[in-house]
Amino acid sequence: MQEPFDIEINGITYSIFPEGEDIYAVFKEGEDYLRIQKDTESHWLKLDPETEMPFFDNDEEVNNIGREIGNYKES
């Protein structure tokens, strides 16, 4: 399993903890924030904190976090 890592977007630090196949726990500025799952190369889904079911909305912050996760994994 991949080790946790940090990314920065617009001066905000997000700590990323891989949980499984394309699922990540995200901590924002040290606080438990959300869980996301890769849908497509450019679209990521926020997971409901209670049911772990995905929300199928277009969340720009979630997509930006996902893009940075992809950039980190490629380097």
**Banded pLDDT at 39 (limits 50, 70, 90):** very high
**Banded pLDDT at 1 (limits 50, 70, 90):** low
In degrees, rounded to 5, the angle at the alpha carbon of residue 52 between the alpha carbons of residues 51 and 53 is 85
* Confidence at residue 41, expressed as pLDDT on a 0 to 100 scale: 83
Q: Specify the amino acid at residue 3.
A: E
pLDDT digit string, tens, across residues 3-35: 999 999 999 999 999 998 899 999 999 999 999
Residue 35 CA: distances (Å) to CA of 13, 44, 52, 75: 15, 10, 8, 22
Q: Specify the amino acid at residue 51.
A: T
**Which residue segment(s) compose the domain that 63 sits in?**
5-74
- Strands (DSSP E) contained in the chain are 5-9, 12-20, 23-28, 31-38, 44-47, 54-55
- Share the mean pLDDT of the chain: 93
In the chain, how many domains are there? 1
